[in-house]
Chain A
Amino acid sequence: MNKPILQRARTEAETALIERFDQGDRRLVGATDLRAAAMQRFADAGLPNRRVEAWHYTDLRGAMRTAALARAPDTATLPLARQCLAKPLAQTNAHRFVIFNGAYNEELSSDGAPPAGVTVSSLASALAVGDADVLDVLKADTPGTGDAIVALNTALMQDGVVIRVAPGAKVERPLAILNLMTGGFAQAAFLRSILIVGAGASIMLDEATAVCMPDATQANEALTVVVGDGARVDYAAQVAEQGANSVALHSLFVTMGANAQFNGFCLVPTAGLVRRQIFARLEGEHSTISLGGLSLLRGKEHSDTTLVIDHAVPNCVSREFFRHILDHEATGVFQGKVVVRQHAQKTDGGMKSQALVLGEDASMNNKPELEIFADDVVCGHGATVGQLDKNQIFYLQARGLSRGEAESLLLEAFANEALDLVADEAVRARFAGQTDDWLAHRSGR
């Protein structure tokens, strides 16, 4: 379906991206064939636009007129990066890996060895030596392989973190990946991280993307999580400190073994254009995947969450719960597709998307899809769009709250129901704090 109907002229951004690849960049090490094939896929498809079904509500070709440049590594901006790390959103008790301006930076990362059972290397070094595990992960044919943005990421990936968790390791201390950009000009970053969790292990991963001086940055990130049999992964992500004209693209791939568990959550508070795609495949029986998210948008912000859950085996459970609060002229998009293959009997799938539209000119687009080929399943989805209940506001106002306070209280309650899905307490508290900030900004407190 990605084939263009008519041969059309390439946009400036598309040409720039293809040329940059063709000219060769010595920083793009390893996986030469993989990169070339991916670039070809991108060149054929071009930047996604409304004609591509999976991008029906997000016109990236229109939003990305020019392609930003990747910044060359330098040491001059390190002090700025340190200041950024001191900001609340970067505060974490986790063992932190920092990718700064497109390269894994040991200096900014947490001191000392990672927790027991965890081994870490940078993606660039893994590719340089042709790490077989890493190449296998990159070559795997997942539901998202055909996506143009994923292809672009594979072709131009600069660096990232490769984390391996030994089988049976119960890692207590969370791990964090922070993708940090200097910003201050139109800067691009193509990052790819990989988390391979051995059988029976458990881990918490916290991922954030931030820009020190918010500007028209363009980030294209991907994270692959391989959850081994009986393993458990908790994952929390957030987009933060982005400029109004920024583009933040993120693709998450999850493949799960048997009896495994994956809990993922993403907070999107203020952004330019954010697209988060999740491609999950359940390959082992009796596994559970739970995905959640909260997007708080104002101005002309645009946030798109698109996910595909592929039930390839019987007896698995999937749950998705996403909420949007849309103020001003913001646009929210939720597209969720649950695929149940013919042999995936006894699948239990539930998906819910709810949005509160506050701004007169805000809009919400929902597309919850079911694609079911097995007969003994229980699958359902619900989607609602509405505004704050006038009766509830009246109730609170009658008890002495101002209208603004009443609204904030109701919005906070709406947001908190989504945040309840965040497994890690520290992360939940941080997200709740950011939600408060957003609401405070809204009511002008």
Chain B
Amino acid sequence: MAAVKETVDRVKAIDVDAYKYGFVTDIESEKAPKGLNEDIVRFISAKKNEPEWMTEWRLDAYRRWLTMDEPTWARVEYPKIDFQDLYYYAAPKSMAGPKSLDEVDPELLRTYEKLGIPLREQEILAGVQNSRVAVDAVFDSVSVATTFRAELAKAGVIFCPISEAVHSHPELVKKYLGSVVPVTDNYYATLNSAVFSDGSFVYIPPGVRCPMELSTYFRINERNTGQFERTLIIADAGSYVSYLEGCTAPQRDENQLHAAVVELIAHEDAEIKYSTVQNWFPGDAEGKGGIYNFVTKRGDCRGDRSKISWTQVETGSAITWKYPSCILRGDESRGEFYSIAISNGRQQVDSGTKMIHLGKNTTSRIISKGISAGRSNNTYRGQVSAHRKATGARNFTNCDSLLIGHDCGAHTVPYIESKNASAVFEHEATTSKISEDQLFYCTQRGLSEEEATALIVNGFVRDVLQQLPMEFAVEAQKLIAISLEGSVG
């Protein structure tokens, strides 16, 4: 009976308030009618004042989506999503394309202040000079503000909402949109192609090292809305960019859908570093509410010696279905994937990566750390493959899982496929729990069991944290401590 009591206590202890971004912003918004059909797709396209080719592109995606089935292979369980019971477009009413921050609803600015994201450049300038970050903030379906654009423009860097890029840089959008994640790539990517509302567009011209970190903050506010953002990052020959993405959502009883598509293109000698701190509302202790996160992220190392690096810290979402991948097309290109996935309560995580080696002497590295607590399930699912012409392909994979508590699960499903004699692949995976010796050592020195767990976990994930930009690393460390609150019985 002791075990049962312990479980009950633990569930009680999971403090729902631990999710500190659960507030709702009371703001009037304009929504498209509920449901999805061709008219809604046209409506979204019209709202964005898109050219005809874009509308057709969306409609084509929608028609293809109708013929597709929802994927069921992931180790996640959820009631069937009624795609007709969702709003596909929501925008703060007061705002039809703000010219400057002064036109932005103060309520919105306060929301972002609460989230700790300063949108006013002068505030940022007032802070530490060296840690400037240009931010694109996306609220429900629209981008509300993008900072530091003028300064970026000086360097030739284009950083704007994708809805704007469709107008201002149609040649780039036409050339690259859907070139990494094809319209019919998978069920959710196709849905996104039909109804995507906004997202960030980044173009770094040849030889330019982006002068500051670029960042996007996504926030789902409205009830019953799905957020479908689309990010497109192009690093031209010899350029470098570091991009951060953060996500939060209010605490709601119902589940909200988030189906994003991120496409990265790295040309010759270019490097893209993409970091995510995903902290969507994970649902309450009983698994009620929370975000369904079905995301397609893929990078294409198109040029020789290009490099794409994914770093992710996944702490939120009721369901995570996400596999940031690299297509290593250019010779000597490199792909990296660093991931921390933490699940607590009744969260379900099925995440991992794909490294597709196509070019010669391509290398990839995968470091994945999964931590499951409470009654959650945490799966690493990854694929490493070398094609016939990928001579000298090299991969190293390390995925470690840590289990906290008796009711959670940790799973590892790697697919390692080598079609080339000169490919060298190494894979190692371990699963264990926090050692009692380590816990004892820490508690002996005056730490509470919870603090000790957080300390040990931070040590466990250190390899990945080191890959994050400094501003994010601090945030991520705190996030890990919050996510694991109540996980020690």
Q: Indicate whether A379 reaches chain B with its CB closer than 8 angstroms.
A: yes
How far apart sit A378 and B420, CA to CA, in the bound complex (Å)?
A: 33
Q: Which of A362, A369, A381, A383 contacts B425 (CB 8 A)?
A: A383
Given A357-B423, A379-B430: A369 touches B418 (CB 8 Å cut-off)? no
Q: Distance (Å) between the CB of A309 and the closest chain B CB?
A: 14
The answer to whether B424 has its CB under 8 Å from any CB of chain A is yes
Task: List, in ascending order, chain B residues with CB within 8 A of A363's CB.
Answer: 417-420
A172 at the interface (CB under 8 A from B): no
Beta-carbon contact of A383 and B424 below 8 Å:
no
Chain B hits for A376, CB < 8 A:
433
B414's partner among A364, A366, A378 (CB-CB below 8 A) is: A366
- Assuming the contacts A360-B421, A382-B427, A385-B424, asked whether A366 and B416 have C-beta atoms less than 8 A apart, the reply is yes
On chain B, the residues within 8 Å of A368 by CB distance are 412, 414, 427, 429
Q: Is the CB of A383 within 8 A of B408?
A: no
Q: Contact at A369–B413, with CB atoms within 8 Å?
A: yes
Q: Are A367 and B403 interface neighbours, CB within 8 A? A: no
Q: Determine whether the beta carbon of B411 is less than 8 Å from that of A383.
A: no
Complex contact A371–B430 (CB within 8 A): no
Say yes or no for A142: interface residue by CB 8 A criterion. no
Query: Considering the complex, which residues of chain B in the window 61-117 have a beta carbon less than 8 Å from any beta carbon of chain A?
Result: 69, 73
Is there contact, CB below 8 Å, between A365 and B421? Answer: no
**Chain B residue nearest in CB terms to A342:** B406
Q: Which of B401, B411, B415, B418 has a CB less than 8 Å from the CB of A367?
A: B415
Considering the chains assembled together, what is the distance between the CA atoms of A396 and B480 in angstroms? Answer: 52
Interchain nearest-CB distance for B378 vs A (Å): 10
B388, B407, B411, B416: which contacts A365 (Cβ < 8 A)? B416
Q: How far is the CB of B267 from chain A (nearest CB, A)?
A: 30
Contact A372 B417 (CB under 8 A): no
Who on chain A is nearest to B391 by CB? A360
Q: Tell me if B404 counts as interface (CB < 8 A to partner A).
A: yes
Kindly identify, within residues 392 to 428 of chain A, every residue whose CB is under 8 Å from any CB belonging to chain B.
none
Give Cα distance in the complex from A355 to B401, angstroms. Answer: 25
Do B421 and A375 touch across chains, with their CB atoms under 8 A apart?
A: no
* CB–CB B409/A373 < 8 A: yes
Q: Is the CB of A375 within 8 A of B406?
A: yes
Most buried by A among B422, B423, B429: B429
Partner of A361, one of B388, B424, B430: B388
A367 touches B413 (CB 8 A): yes
A357 contacts B421, C-beta separation under 8 Å = yes
CA–CA, A264 and B432, complex, Å: 27
B250 interface contact, C-beta 8 A: no
Q: Bits for A157-181, please: 1 = Cβ < 8 Å to B, else 0.
A: 0000000000000000000000000
A244 contacts B by Cβ under 8 Å: no
Q: Which residues of A contact B414 (CB under 8 A)?
A: 366-369, 383
Taking CB atoms, residues of chain A closer than 8 Å to B409 are 371-373
User: What's the least CB distance linking B231 to chain A, in Å?
Assistant: 31
Inter-chain contact A366/B412, CB cutoff 8 Å? no
Chain A residue with minimal CB distance to B430?
A: A380
A377 on interface, CB distance cutoff 8 Å: yes
Task: Confirm or deny: A374 has a beta carbon within 8 angstroms of a beta carbon on chain B.
Answer: yes
For A213, the chain B residues whose CB sits under 8 A away are none
CA distance A129 to B171 in the complex (A): 79
Query: Is there a chain A Cβ closer than 8 Å to B431's Cβ?
Result: yes
In the bound assembly, the distance between CA atoms of A368 and B382 in angstroms comes to: 11
User: Quick check: is B426 within 8 A (CB to CB) of the other chain?
Assistant: yes
Chain B residue numbers with a CB within 8 Å of A385 are: 416, 418, 423-425
Q: Is the CB of A378 within 8 A of B418?
A: no
A30 at the interface (CB under 8 A from B): no
Q: How far is the CA of A317 from the CA of B420 in the complex (A)?
A: 35
Q: Which residues of A contact B404 (CB under 8 A)?
A: 375
Is there a chain A Cβ closer than 8 Å to B405's Cβ? yes
B267-281 with Cβ < 8 A to chain A? none
Bound Cα distance from A359 to B433, whole angstroms: 41
Contact of A380 among B73, B416, B431 (CB under 8 A): B431
* Candidates A361, A370, A387; contact of B410 at CB < 8 Å: A370
Q: Please determine whether A370 and B388 come into contact, CB atoms closer than 8 angstroms.
A: no
Closest approach, in angstroms, between the C-beta of B389 and any C-beta of chain A? 11
B428 interface residue per 8 A CB criterion: yes
CB-CB under 8 A for A372 and B410, given A363-B418, A382-B427, A386-B425: yes
Interface-central residue, A355, A362, A366, A376, by most chain B CB under 10 Å: A366
CB nearest neighbor in A for B399: A370
Give the residue name and chain of the B residue nearest to A361 (CB): B388
Which A residues are CB-close (under 8 A) to B69?
A: 5
Q: Which residue of A lies closest to B403 (CB)?
A: A375
Q: How far is the CB of A269 from chain B (nearest CB, A)?
A: 20
Interface residues of A in 227-278 (CB under 8 A from B): none
Give A355 to B404 CA distance when docked, in angstroms.
34
- A363 to B406 CA separation, bound complex (whole angstroms): 40
Query: What is the CA–CA distance of A5 and B71 in the complex, to the nearest angstrom?
Result: 12
Nearest residue, chain A, Cβ from B69? A5
Report the minimal beta-carbon distance from A146 to chain B, rounded to whole angstroms.
16
Residue pair A370, B431 in contact (C-beta under 8 Å): yes
Inter-chain contacts of B423 with A (CB < 8 A): 357, 385-386
Interface residues of A in 1-25 (CB under 8 A from B): 5
Report the separation of the CA atoms of residues A357 and B423 in the bound assembly, to the nearest whole angstrom: 9
Contact A383 B419 (CB under 8 A): no
Residue-wise, chain B 293-311 has the 8 Å CB interface mask toward A (1 for contact) of 0000000000000000000
- Min CB–CB distance A391 → chain B (angstroms): 13
Let me know if A36 is at the binding interface, CB within 8 A.
no
Q: Which of A5, A53, A370, A374 has the most CB of B within 10 A?
A: A370
CA distance A371 to B407 in the complex (A): 13
- What distance in Å separates the Cβ of A7 from its nearest Cβ neighbour in chain B? 15
A368 to B423, CA, bound (A): 18
Interface code B369-393, partner A: CB below 8 Å = 1, 0 otherwise? 0000000000000000000100000
**Does A384 belong to the interface (CB within 8 Å)?**
yes
Min CB distance B138 to A, Å, is 36
Compute how far the CA of A379 lies from the CA of B423 in the bound complex, rounded to whole angstroms: 27
Of A369, A381, A387, the residue contacting B428 (CB under 8 A) is: A381
Q: Contact: A53 with B73, CB < 8 Å?
A: yes
A358 at the interface (CB under 8 A from B): yes
A residues less than 8 Å from B432 (CB atoms) = 377-379
Is A369 a contact partner of B405 (Cβ separation < 8 A)?
Answer: no
Most chain A CB neighbours (cut-off 10 Å) among B421, B425, B432: B421
B430 to A: closest C-beta gap in Å:
4
B431 is contacted by which of A358, A364, A379 (Cβ under 8 Å)?
A379
B405: which of A362, A375, A381 is its contact (CB, 8 Å)? A375
Closest residue on chain B to residue A368 by CB atoms: B414
B408 touches A357 (CB 8 A): no
- Contact A369 B427, CB 8 Å, known A357-B418, A360-B421, A383-B416: no
The answer on a CB contact under 8 Å between A374 and B406 is yes
- Residues of B contacting A367 with CB < 8 Å? 413-416
**A379 surroundings in chain B (CB, below 8 A):** 430-432
Cβ contact within 8 Å between B427 and A380:
no
Instruction: Specify the chain A residue showing the minimal Cβ separation from B377.
Output: A373
Report chain B residues within 8 Å CB of A53: 73
Which residue of A is nearest B387, CB measured? A363
Chain A: CB-nearest residue to B395: A385
Select one of A5, A357, A364, A372 contacting B411, CB under 8 A.
A372
Taking the closest CB of chain B, its distance from the CB of A297, in whole angstroms, is 13
Nearest CB in chain B to that of A371: its residue: B411
A370 proximity list for chain B (CB < 8 A): 401, 410-412, 429, 431
Sorted nearest first, the 6 A-B pairs with minimum C-beta distance are A375-B403, A366-B416, A370-B412, A380-B430, A363-B419, A383-B427
User: 18 interchain pairs (CB within 8 A)?
Assistant: A56-B415, A355-B418, A357-B418, A357-B423, A361-B388, A367-B414, A370-B410, A370-B411, A371-B409, A371-B411, A375-B406, A375-B408, A377-B431, A378-B432, A381-B429, A382-B426, A383-B426, A385-B416
Question: Which residues of B are interface residues toward A (Cβ below 8 A)?
Answer: 69, 73, 388, 401, 403-433
Given contacts A375-B404, A385-B418, A385-B424, 14 further A-B contacts (CB under 8 A): A359-B421, A363-B417, A364-B417, A365-B415, A366-B414, A367-B414, A369-B412, A369-B413, A369-B414, A375-B406, A379-B432, A380-B431, A383-B425, A385-B416
